[in-house]
Amino acid sequence: MTESPQAPLFIVSTGRSGSTMLSELLSLHPDVLSLSELFNALHPFGFRKDPIDGPDFWSVLSEPRPRHTAWLRLMERGLAIDEFRYPLASALRFRETGIPPLLAMTLPPLTEDPDGLHEELRVFVQSLPEDRIHRQYLRVFQWLCTRFGRRFWCERSGASLGLVHPLSHFFPTARFIHVFRDGREFSVSARRFAPMRMGMIGTLFKQRFGAAPYLTPTYQIPEDLPPAWRGLVPESFDVDVFQRFELPIEPIGMAWSEMITVGLKLLENVPAERVLHVRYESMLDAPHAELQRIVRFMDPSLDDPSWLAQAAGRVRKNPPKWVNLPADERARLESACAPGMELLRRLS
C-alpha cells in the first residue's frame, strides 16, 4: 500500500461555519471520501513523534483522549454532543478505559460497523515500517479510499483554522478550503453549541478556580463553588443548568475575530493557488455554483452533474439570527466581530 497519490486536501474553519454541511455533501460524491474530525479527535497528540513506526503510529491513532472520556460522563446525563458519533449505549463500555478517538468521532459516519473498521485499520497500521508521520497519515487516507472504493479524500475538523500551521508544515503540498461565516452568526451559534459552551464555561472555571472541569474524566470540585454553578461540574452535572448558564456574547465575537486574524495569517503563508475561501452564506444562496467551484478546486474530474444536483438540492436556507438580539447586545457583538469581518471583506 503506497501513500495517497493526490495532494492533501483539508477543509478548515472556525467551527459553526458550514464545514460539517460541506463535508456531508461531499460524502455523497461517489469518488470522494470525506473524513470528519480526524485531526480534531487526535488533538493534541496527532504529530507527537516523527518519524514513527506502525505500532507507535497506532498508539497515536488509538490512545484515548481524556476529553472524550469526560464527554461520555456528561452524555450519560443527557448532554447531546453531535461530534461524538459512536452510539452512546455501546460507548459506555469505555467509561473506565476511555474510547479510542477514531471510534468516537471519525469512523462511525463511514460504516455501520465502526468497531470492525477500527480493527481492520489496526492490522494495516501496525504493519507499517518506520517513516515520516505525514507519509503514515497519507497511507491511512489511501487505505481508507481503497477500502471504500473512492479515489479522492479530504479531511475536515471543526474549529481547525488553528491547525493550518501543523498541517501546512507536515503536508507541504497541502491545499486548503477555508469555510467562513459572518462572525455575528458564528457567535450566536457557538453560544448554543455544547462543545463550545464547555470550552467557554471551562475558561470561566479556570480563571476563577484554576482548573477546567471538562478536560479530564475526574474533576475536584472547588470548596467555594457557587451553588448556581454546581450543575456545571461532571459529578453533579445538570443539562438544564448547563444550557441556561448565561454566557456573554461579545467575548465569543472577540475570540472569533482572533481566530480569523490568526488563521488568515497562517493561510497567507500557503501559495494562493492552493487556498480556496468559501463563504457559508454564498453556499446557501447559490449552492450549485459554490459546490461546483469547490469540487473543481479539489480536482476538475470531480465535476459531476448528477452529484451536483443532488447535493445542491439538500442545502437549506438558514436565516440570520443575530439580528434578533437585543439592540445593546447586538451593538456590542458587532463591535467585537468588526476586526474579523473587515479581514473577510477583503477576500471578496
Question: Which H or E run contains 191?
Answer: helix 183-192
Among 225, 205, 229, which Cα is nearest to 215's?
205
Give the count of alpha carbons within 13 A of 188, CB side only: 16
Mean pLDDT, all residues of the chain: 96
Among 9, 313, 342, which Cα is nearest to 160's?
9
What predicted TM-score, i.e. pTM, was given to this entire model?
0.96
CA gap 136, 58 in Å, rounded: 10
Question: Which H or E run contains 34?
Answer: strand 32-36
How confident is the model over 258-272, as a mean pLDDT?
98
How confident is the model over 321-347, as a mean pLDDT?
97
For the chain, which residues make up each domain, given as ranges? 1-348
CA gap 331, 327 in Å, rounded: 6
CA gap 168, 274 in Å, rounded: 11
Cis ω before 51 (30° cut-off from 0): yes
How confident is the model over 305-310, as a mean pLDDT?
98
How confident is the model over 35-56, as a mean pLDDT?
96
Query: What CATH number matches the domain at 1-348, 3.40.50, 3.30.310, 3.30.390, 1.10.3470?
Result: 3.40.50
Range in 179-183, 212-216, 324-328 the model is least confident about: 212-216
* Residues contacting 172, CB < 8 A, separation 6+: none
How confident is the model over 151-165, as a mean pLDDT?
96
CA gap 59, 326 in Å, rounded: 49
DSSP SS3 for 62: helix
345 neighbors 56 (Cβ within 8 angstroms): no
Percent of the chain with pLDDT over 70: 99
Q: In what order do the strands lie in the sheet with 9-12?
A: 32-36, 152-156, 9-12, 175-180, 275-279
- How do residues 109-133 score in pLDDT, each as one tens digit? 999 999 999 999 999 999 999 999 9
Which residue shows C-alpha cell 456531508?
A: 24
Question: How is residue 340 written as a grid cell?
Answer: 474579523
Q: Supply the pLDDT for residue 285.
A: 98
- Whether the per-residue pLDDT at 3 is higher than 90: the answer is no
CA gap 182, 318 in Å, rounded: 12
- How do residues 199-220 score in pLDDT, each as one tens digit? 999 999 999 999 999 987 678 8
Q: Supply the pLDDT for residue 1.
A: 58
pLDDT band per the 50, 70, 90 thresholds, residue 5: confident
How confident is the model over 298-316, as a mean pLDDT?
98
Q: Supply the pLDDT for residue 218.
A: 77
* Residues contacting 84, CB < 8 A, separation 6+: 68, 71, 72, 75, 91, 104, 105
